[in-house]
Amino acid sequence: MITGHVFIATSLDGYIARPDGDIGWLLQRDDPDEDHGYKAFIADKDAIVMGRGTYEKVVEFGEWHYDRPVVVLSKQLQGSPVPERLRGKVRFTDLAPREAMQELERQGARKVYVDGGQVVQSFLREGLIADMVVTTVPVLIGAGRPLFGALPEDKDLALVASRSFPSGLVQSTWRVLA
Amino acid sequence: MITGHVFIATSLDGYIARPDGDIGWLLQRDDPDEDHGYKAFIADKDAIVMGRGTYEKVVEFGEWHYDRPVVVLSKQLQGSPVPERLRGKVRFTDLAPREAMQELERQGARKVYVDGGQVVQSFLREGLIADMVVTTVPVLIGAGRPLFGALPEDKDLALVASRSFPSGLVQSTWRVLA
């Protein structure tokens, strides 16, 4: 069975970006000398699913640092051409979360990195997330794009691990219980 | 200088109660065999400040387990009589956060436990919170009363300590930087 996995950072008040999408507050608190485990996390993932917001933010950075196939879920981008430098690396689709995962499964994927607030929320609602690594950044930003959203019912979690870093980041791994 | 201190639990999605105030989801995940540090926290506090929502929830529980003077900030309750069994233990006031703290300071208080979402938010906005012990409960409830709210500016935090419990709770202590 194909499963979705989250690896994401939020402010203590639960935002992944400011209202306008800015993540400067996050980047400026990233200590490049600390290993927050992204490499270990991505090692066994076969593909990455993200929304348009995350995709456009990453493209804006210039450098494309993903070495896994990326699927962008977007009704708006679907049908538009993938930028030349990203051909073969990125695919746009308007499939719903479950159908997008089924398609990835048919293509041989087993574990998928699910990134971006809106996409994480829709995948959680659909029961497509197996676990989440949530890193809390020591700041309150007061407003922004929340990591979590409305749910049809409570989602029970099991704590898998928790650790903190000298920079003040707290990283917890939660398994989503059925 | 008098300082405010927070000790509070939230769901992973940042809620301290459901939209109707219910905290059953929280109580049912509390393991009475685990010491989450409340006793150690309250030991050096001189008074407790809370809002009407928290006060009414605690009164509803029947047993009054606070052994510190409690100040309830409430324009609505101000002027109404304190229930007989709570006389001498509880005081209603319509003072603003800063004025309430100044009054407590004149009365000799140095460290104040600040409880309840709305009150924590207003005290944070006013710069009256020195540190926060935030315990994350392993559940997503999807909607409710958030711990944090809007702020006039970012609040930088320093991680003081973080620990997790067998029940899956993650408790982090944050110092609020000036």
Q: For position B108, what pLDDT does the model report?
A: 97
Domain for residue A54, yes or no?
yes
Long-range contacts of B87-96 (CB under 8 A, 24+ apart): B89/B64, B90/B55
The total number of structural domains that make up chain A: 1
Q: For position B57, what pLDDT does the model report?
A: 86
- What are A138's two structure tokens? 């020591």
Chain B residues with CB inside 8 Å of A151's CB?
Answer: 140-143
Q: For position A153, what pLDDT does the model report?
A: 96
Domain for residue A160, yes or no?
yes
Q: Is residue B128's pLDDT more than 90?
A: yes
The CA distance from A161 to the nearest CA of chain B, in Å, is 8
Domain for residue A32, yes or no?
no
Mean pLDDT, rounded, for B68-82: 94
Q: For position A63, what pLDDT does the model report?
A: 84
Mean pLDDT, rounded, for A48-71: 90
Helix A52-60 vs helix A117-125: angle between axes, to the nearest 10 degrees?
150
CA distance A133 to B139: 14
Check A142 against B149: CB less than 8 A apart: yes
Helix (H) or strand (E) holding B125: helix B117-125
- Residue B175: closest C-alpha in chain A: A138
Q: Is residue B112's pLDDT more than 90?
A: yes
Mean pLDDT of chain B: 96
Q: List the single residue in B153, B158, B170 with the smallest CB-CB distance to A138.
A: B158
Mean pLDDT, rounded, for A71-99: 95
The 10s digit of each residue's pLDDT in B58-72 is 888 878 889 999 999
Mean pLDDT, rounded, for A41-70: 92
Name the band, by pLDDT with cuts 50, 70 and 90, for residue A174: very high
The CA distance from A163 to the nearest CA of chain B, in Å, is 8
* Sequence-distant (≥ 6) Cβ neighbours of residue A160 within 8 angstroms: A131, A173, A174, A175
Domain for residue A24, yes or no?
no
DSSP A62-118: S-----S-EEEE-TTTTTSPPPGGGTTTEEEE---HHHHHHHHHHTT--EEEEESHH
**What is the dihedral sign for C-alpha A41, A42, A46, A48?**
positive
Q: Taking CA B126 as the corner, what is the angle to CA B53 and CA A136, rounded to the nearest 5 degrees?
A: 80
- Which ipTM score applies to this complex? 0.95
The CA distance from B146 to the nearest CA of chain A, in Å, is 9
Name the band, by pLDDT with cuts 50, 70 and 90, for residue A140: very high
Check A151 against B134: CB less than 8 A apart: no
- Residue A172: closest C-alpha in chain B: B170
Name which of B6, B13, B120, B151 to mutate to probe chain A: the one with the most chain A Cβ atoms within 10 A of its Cβ.
B13
State pTM to two decimals: 0.95
Domain for residue B159, yes or no?
no
Give the domain range for residue B108: 3-154+166-176
- What are A55's two structure tokens? 């995709």
CATH code, domain carrying B102: 3.40.430.10
Mean pLDDT, rounded, for B155-175: 98
Classified as helix, coil or strand, B158 is strand
- φ, ψ of residue B131 in degrees (nearest 5): -155, 165
Q: Is residue A60's pLDDT more than 90?
A: no
The CA distance from A157 to the nearest CA of chain B, in Å, is 5
Q: Is residue A77's pLDDT more than 90?
A: yes
Chain B residues with CB inside 8 Å of A164's CB?
Answer: 159, 162, 172
Q: Within 10 A of B20 (CB to CB), how many other CB atoms are there? A: 7
Q: Is residue A61's pLDDT more than 90?
A: no
Cα B165 to chain centroid distance, Å, stands at: 21
The 10s digit of each residue's pLDDT in B26-64 is 999 999 999 999 999 999 999 999 999 899 988 888 788
| Residue where the block lists tokens 């029940």 | B167
Check A154 against B142: CB less than 8 A apart: yes
Domain for residue A107, yes or no?
yes
| Residue where the block lists tokens 């559940």 | B139
Check B153 against A142: CB less than 8 A apart: yes
Q: List the single residue in A25, A138, A142 with the smallest CB-CB distance to B151.
A: A142
Q: Is residue A155's pLDDT more than 90?
A: yes
* Sequence-distant (≥ 6) Cβ neighbours of residue A16 within 8 angstroms: A8, A9, A10, A23, A26, A116, A117, A144, A145, A146, A147
Name the band, by pLDDT with cuts 50, 70 and 90, for residue B101: very high
Q: For position B178, what pLDDT does the model report?
A: 82
Domain for residue A26, yes or no?
no
CA distance B159 to B26: 24
- What are B87's two structure tokens? 């006389």
The 10s digit of each residue's pLDDT in A24-52 is 999 999 999 999 999 999 999 999 999 99
Helix (H) or strand (E) holding A132: strand A129-137
Amino acid at position A149, single letter: G
- The answer to whether A132 and A174 have CB atoms below 8 angstroms apart is yes
Q: Is residue A88's pLDDT more than 90?
A: yes
Q: For position A72, what pLDDT does the model report?
A: 97
Q: Within 10 A of A8 (CB to CB), how many other CB atoms are there? A: 17
